[in-house]
Amino acid sequence: MIEGISIYHFLVVSTIMFFLGIAGFIIRQNLITILLSIELILNAVVINFLAFNKFLYPNELQGHFFGLFIVGIAAAEAAVAIALIINVYRRLKSIDSDKVNEMKY
């Protein structure tokens, strides 16, 4: 086990990260900050996977593989989202999520 750091410390950090990401996703209107909020949520999930793997099953690597899988998914999601944000900016000259609704018309 990790000396001086219990699983509760990891859970508190990941819970704070998760709810900050949820709050940023709901409150912010800028598409880039919404993307960063989603990344924050995914990183909180990775911390949970790695912490539970380390403390519950220290000799197995399932948590690490799930963590790598989530990081790969997050990288692909970020690449697609940034491409979409660039196209929205080229068309509307703004990256506010309220203006995206204008693309329908």
User: Between 34 and 102, where is the model more confident?
Assistant: 34
Domain boundary assignment for the chain:
7-104
**Mean pLDDT confidence for 45-61:** 90
Which CA distances in Å does 41 have to 48, 50, 57, 103?
11, 15, 24, 28
- Does the domain spanning 7-104 belong to CATH 1.10.287.3510? yes
- Cα gap 1→13, rounded to integer Å: 18
- Cα gap 25→14, rounded to integer Å: 16
**Mean pLDDT confidence for 42-50:** 93
CA 66, distance to chain mean position in Å, is 14
Q: 47: pLDDT confidence band, cut at 50, 70 and 90?
A: very high
